Amino acid sequence: MEVQGYGAAAQWVYRQALEPGGWSTEGVISIYEVRQVHHRAMSPVWAVAPHPVATDAAAPGNFREHDIQPFQGGMTPQFWPLVPAAIEEWVRFVNTHTEELRSRQVPVPWPERLAEVHNRFEKVHPFLDGNGRAGRLLLNLILVRLGYPPVIILKRQRPAYLKAMQRADDEDYGPLGELLARAMYENLNRFIVPNVAGPARLVPLRALADKDLTVVALRHAARRGRLDAVHGSDGEWRSTRKAVKRSRRSR
């Protein structure tokens, strides 16, 4: 149910890149959309396993009515009566900086501004459960509406992500900004570049891998000469979809 809910919410978010428009008059994001993303992500699991201390008033899409204990790093989420005002302030902050985020002309490094946007939401922690999922989806809603690829934090990156969030709690946004920027770059290489590059353009091997041919297998084939590939001065192996197709046929 968690996967199903996340999938439904993600589908709604990513459709914004394909069907732009219909934004709130507030700007790139609205409080309604904050609640909508959480509602879509959490409703399926809530229907079978609601949070043990939740009231009907704190159902998916509604702000929490309980305080949350401080986290391991020491960050204490906003006191619950102040949550609605804090989320309004977060929405204003995002919409105020929309043009900066769109043009990347910001007084601080662009990834760090992105990290600040994400961290500010998580420090409010407006919902009883599912704040991490909702926060990352909302960050991607902002990104796709501004014409950028989404950021996907993989399970193996969770320790680094949590550590970077702790640093961001103290307004050190550099580590989280770097993690988000790298995740965006990975998505560009893995999903977007191969689809716009054409069959004969060199792209990193990770952009050509699939369940049958992993990055490790492609790298091994390149080293043994079974895959036409180029080893760049940056240490990255690159090949083409055309070459991978030929290599696959010769296996």
Question: If pLDDT is split at 50, 70 and 90, which confidence band does 69 have?
Answer: confident
* Whole-number pLDDT of residue 25: 57
User: According to the model, what pLDDT value does residue 21 have?
Assistant: 59
For 60-79, b/e burial (b = at least 16 CB within 10 A) is bbbbbeeebeebeeebebbe
- The DSSP call for residue 56 is G
Q: Report the pLDDT value the prediction gives residue 206, as an integer from 0 to 100.
A: 83
pLDDT-derived band at 23 (thresholds 50, 70, 90) equals low
Q: Which two tokens stand for residue 111?
A: 């990834």
Over residues 83-105, the mean pLDDT reads 88
pLDDT at residue 117 tops 90: yes
Check if the beta carbon of residue 136 is closer than 8 Å to that of residue 41: no
pLDDT confidence tier of residue 146, bands split at 50, 70 and 90: confident
Place 62 in a pLDDT band, splitting at 50, 70 and 90.
very high
What SS3 class is residue 131? helix
How many CB atoms neighbour CB 131 within 10 A? 20
Asked if residue 50 has pLDDT above 90, the reply is: no
Alpha helices in the chain (DSSP H): 2-18, 31-48, 83-96, 98-103, 110-124, 131-145, 158-169, 174-187, 193-197, 215-223, 241-249
Compute the average pLDDT of residues 15-41.
Answer: 80
pLDDT (average), residues 3-21 = 83
Indicate the average pLDDT of the chain: 86
> What residue has token string 């005002």?
85
Q: Which of 161, 4, 139, 193 is nearest to 73 (CA)?
A: 161
